[in-house]
Amino acid sequence: MPRWGMAIDLDRCNGCQGCEVACRSENNIAVAGPEAAKQNRTIFWIKVHTEIEGEWPSVRARFVPQLCMHCDRPPCTAVCPVEATSLDRDGIVNQIYSRCIGCRYCANACPYTVKYFNWKRPSYPESVVPSLNPDVSVRPVGVIEKCTFCHHRLQKARDVARAEDRPLREGDYTPACAEACPTRAIVFGDLDDPAQRVAQLSRGPRAFRLGEELGTEPKVYYLAKQD
Amino acid sequence: MTDLEIVSRLPQDERCLLMPLVRTTKTFWLWAGLMAAITLWSAFAYVYQLRNGLGVTGLNTPEYWGIYIICFVFFIGISHAGTLISAILRVAHAEWRRSITRSAEFITVLVIGFGAVQPILDLGRPDRVLNVFLHSQPFSPLLWDVLSIGLYFTASSVYLYVPMIPDLALIRDLGLRPRLLYRFLAIGYHDTPEARHTLERIIAVLAVAVIPIAVSVHTVIGWIFSLTLRPMWHSTIFGPYFVMGAIFSGIAALIIAMAILRRVYRLEAYFKDIHFNNMGLLLLVMTVLWSYFTLAENLTVWYGGEEAELATLYSKLSGEFALPFWLMVALCSVVPFALMARRGTRGVTGTVVASVGVVIGMWLERFNIVVPTSYHPRFQLPEVHYLPSWVELSIMAGTFSGFILVYMVATKFFPIISIWEIKEGREKSIAEVSERVAAYLPDDLAAVKP
């Protein structure tokens, strides 16, 4: 079984937020509006955080895209009373929107704050409605949602590979954020396949993970800044 | 003969303790009406929330939990008033318990539902609440919580009901209305010495059984927080801390209830100064324990000095949550200690003032547990503060008024002081206690077998 994971090169990320836009349109993420933004109620499956280091004139900005870490030991799945979130065979932490009771326990248990709650009924600007992605279900009010590593793309890639009677190859399955990244900062693939780039990067000297000391074993690696 | 005439002719104990069942004052109706109005208003607020989603609360990302979860912990804590205190006093053969156990047990049974409903009010999808049974995930502390609260409610209802049977049989025999209710609830009990003996054995078993169940309930509630990796939640002290805090707020709630009952139903002869003095001493013990636990909790975090933990701690000690934190310390520690440590202020007024402080302080403690940690996640610090909306505040007010209302109604159908236990105290206790004390005294040397 592949173990899907990601490596994000912080040297290459220039903070363009292309991944956020690609993710939003791929996954039908509701547009909450400025009012909700003021209340901290927006939903971003991937979000580019900006950290400003130092003081003028020696200032430097650091961009850290944050998304669900798809932990191998996820704290969020253990606490769910209805098993609406769990670690599946592919190593992806999934969400069952139609079963979630909306208690937000998983969101509290997640140390990375990457699980989002639908405080309101989802809404979209009229211009977006015709281009909603039919492969991804729209989440109702009152449930938790988060990054799924574009799991629907894995299903499609598998179908194609099966039809062509061949195993999955590197590049068959790529989430929207990795695909859209103009600087190729986001690398995706099977962490257990030493031939794949993501596996090599994740084993490299620059690789680290957020909150490593918590023992959650995230599958999103960051490559530390060098320059 | 009307019910009032029947009761008026009875001897003192029966007359005083059954009078609330047959005579209802205008003040009662006034208060009941007010409580009902607030409760109805909160029902409206909940319907509004149902229609519009949890967006009508003040919650946000990452402050996912607020007033509802605070009230959940708080009200289940209050429910420890009854069963636990009454059971401990029974098991310890504390003779002064006789007039207070019933009112305490009623608090437990009636408040537990109001506490248990809070997490459901907090659900994004209350329509799917049955998924908890259909798709149970046994590793979730929330599931343990559903089970332990269910068990606690069942056990404390039985523990309230069984010791009430002789009184229900008395009311049935007097023929008070509604007759059908009392005939049904008395389940054909006749107060013979054998029946009494069996009853007391059952009560003894129940009293022992409910103690671990009560302890489990608030332990599990503490674990809901402490089993996550969140700063200042992830702490081994939470289980015992929550149990202790629950008993603390429970004692305070019971003192307030006793003072009100004493006043409105003229029960000065039954809730005597000595009862308030003894309850005040219990409150003092819990005050000291609470201060010790709170010191232990915060000192450990401060000395450990982990970055995320310290951010949460300092927000309470000197940051944005300093006011609720230090107000809590004053109300849970300074005020009750100052009042309860002196004999002179352990009267009715002193204990009530201290208890009101403790109840407010313990609500603040739940606030200080839930909100500051939510506000300090390890990653992605929030920019806005949680402020409860009118919907949340209305529902909280409705929870208080709803509980007060059902408690008021309960005192109109059931004697709030156990009549048979008072009479048993008059008839048997003095001899029993003398015998017990005599048994503690040293034996004659000649009678001791080597």
| pLDDT, average across residues A71-100 | 95
Percent of chain B with pLDDT over 90: 90
Q: A207 has which bridge partners?
A: A223
User: Is B348 a domain residue?
Assistant: yes
Q: Residue B285 belongs to what domain range?
A: 59-386
Average pLDDT, chain B: 94
Say if A99 is an interface residue toward chain B (CB within 8 Å). Answer: yes
Q: What angle do helix axes B390-413 and B26-52 make, rounded to 10 degrees?
A: 140
- Residue A207 pLDDT class (50, 70, 90 cuts): very high
Would you tell me which residues 193-212 of chain A have a C-beta closer than 8 angstroms to some C-beta of chain B? Answer: 210-211
Q: What is the pLDDT of residue A154?
A: 95
DSSP states of A131-180: G--TTSPPPPTT-EE---SSHHHHHHHHHHHHHTTS---TTSS--HHHHH
Q: What is the pLDDT of residue A197?
A: 95
- Residue B445 pLDDT class (50, 70, 90 cuts): confident
| pLDDT, average across residues B19-26 | 93
For testing contact with chain A, the best of B227, B229, B383 (most A CBs within 10 A): B229
> Are the Cβ atoms of A113 and B383 closer than 8 angstroms?
no
Burial of A93 (0-12, 13-18, 19+ CB in 10 A): buried
> Are the Cβ atoms of B124 and A101 closer than 8 angstroms?
yes
> Are the Cβ atoms of A108 and B65 closer than 8 angstroms?
yes
- Residue A120 Cα, gap to closest chain B Cα (Å): 5
Q: What is the pLDDT of residue B391?
A: 97
| CA–CA separation, A117 and A110 (whole Å) | 13
Q: What is the pLDDT of residue B383?
A: 78
pTM: 0.94
- Chains A and B form CB pairs within 8 A to the count of 142
> Are the Cβ atoms of A40 and B146 closer than 8 angstroms?
no
Q: Report how many domains make up chain B.
A: 1
Question: How does pLDDT run across A135-188, given as a tens digit for each residue?
Answer: 999 999 999 999 999 999 999 999 999 999 999 999 999 999 999 999 999 999
Question: How does pLDDT run across B305-335, given as a tens digit for each residue?
Answer: 999 999 999 999 999 999 999 999 999 999 9
Q: What is the pLDDT of residue B82?
A: 81
Say if A87 is an interface residue toward chain B (CB within 8 Å). Answer: no
Chain A residues in contact with B63 by the CB 8 A cut-off are: 40
> Are the Cβ atoms of B135 and A113 closer than 8 angstroms?
no
| pLDDT, average across residues B13-18 | 94
> Are the Cβ atoms of B140 and A79 closer than 8 angstroms?
yes
CATH number at residue B291: 1.20.1630.10
CATH number at residue A58: 3.30.70.20
Q: What is the ipTM of this complex?
A: 0.92
Give yes or no for residue A15 having a pLDDT over 80. Answer: yes
Q: Residue A65 belongs to what domain range?
A: 4-223
| pLDDT, average across residues B260-271 | 95
Q: What is the pLDDT of residue A179?
A: 96
Give yes or no for residue B450 having a pLDDT over 90. Answer: no
Report the run of H or E that residue A117 belongs to, with start and end. Answer: strand A116-117
User: Is B209 a domain residue?
Assistant: yes
| CA–CA separation, A64 and A50 (whole Å) | 6
Question: How does pLDDT run across B377-436, given as a tens digit for each residue?
Answer: 988 777 788 999 999 999 999 999 999 999 999 999 999 999 999 999 999 899 999 999
| pLDDT, average across residues B170-184 | 93
Give yes or no for residue A227 having a pLDDT over 70. Answer: no
Nearest one of B109, B62, B70 to B86, comparing CA atoms: B109
User: Is B65 a domain residue?
Assistant: yes
The SS3 call for residue B442 is coil
User: Is B400 a domain residue?
Assistant: no
- Number of neighbours of residue B108 by Cβ within 10 angstroms: 29
- Residue B85 pLDDT class (50, 70, 90 cuts): confident
Q: Report how many domains make up chain A.
A: 1
